[in-house]
Amino acid sequence: MSLISMAVHDTKENNRTPLTDRTIESLLKTVDFDKHRLFISDNGSCEDTQDLYIRLAQYWALNKFPFPNLTIIKNGENLGTAKAVNKCWKFRKPGEHCIKMDNDVVIHYKGWVEEMEEAIRIEPMLGQVGLKRKDCWEYPEHENPEIRSKLIMLPHAAGERWIVVEQAKHIIGTCVMHNYELLDKVGYLFQPGVYGYDDVLMSWRSYLAGFVSVFLPHINIDHIDPGGDEYTDWKGRHSGQFSRTVSDIVDEYISGKKPLYHED
262 found inside a domain: no
- Residue 235 has a pLDDT of 86
Q: How confident is the model at residue 264 (pLDDT cuts 50, 70, 90)?
A: confident
- Residue 222 has a pLDDT of 98
CA distance 82 to 250: 17
263 found inside a domain: no
CA distance 238 to 232: 10
pLDDT digits (tens, 9 = 90+) for 107-137: 999 999 999 999 999 999 999 999 999 999 9
261 found inside a domain: no
Task: Check residues 125 and 230 and name the one with the higher pLDDT.
Answer: 125
264 found inside a domain: no
Number of domains in the chain: 1
The CATH number that applies at residue 220 is: 3.90.550.10
- Residue 126 has a pLDDT of 98
Q: Is the pLDDT of residue 234 over 90?
A: no
pLDDT digits (tens, 9 = 90+) for 5-24: 999 999 999 999 999 999 99
Helix, strand, coil % (nearest 5) of the chain?
A: 35, 20, 45
Report the predicted TM-score, pTM, of the whole model to 2 decimal places: 0.96
pLDDT digits (tens, 9 = 90+) for 133-166: 999 999 999 999 999 999 999 998 899 889 999 9
